[in-house]
Amino acid sequence: MERKEIDEQVIHQYKQDEQKMILIFAQWCVNNELDPFEIYRKAYPNQPTNTALEDAAELTLPPSEAHQISVETLLEILSLFGNDDLAFVVNDEWSQLERKNNK
* CA 102 vs CA 32, 79, 95, 96, 98: distances in Å: 15, 27, 11, 10, 6
d(CA 62, CA 72): 21
DSSP codes joined into one string, 19-71: HHHHHHHHHHHHHTT--HHHHHHHH-TTS---HHHHHHHHH---TTTSPP--H
DSSP codes joined into one string, 17-29: HHHHHHHHHHHHH
Residues 86, 44: contact at Cβ < 8 Å?
A: yes
* Burial category of 28 from C-beta neighbours within 10 Å (exposed 0-12, middle 13-18, buried 19 and up): buried
**pLDDT at residue 62 in the model:** 97
**pLDDT at residue 39 in the model:** 97
**pLDDT at residue 75 in the model:** 98
Residues 77, 24: contact at Cβ < 8 Å?
A: yes
**pLDDT at residue 49 in the model:** 85
Rounded mean pLDDT for each run of 10 residues along the chain, 103 residues in total: 89 93 98 97 94 96 96 97 96 94 81
**pLDDT at residue 92 in the model:** 97
Domain ranges of the chain: 12-101
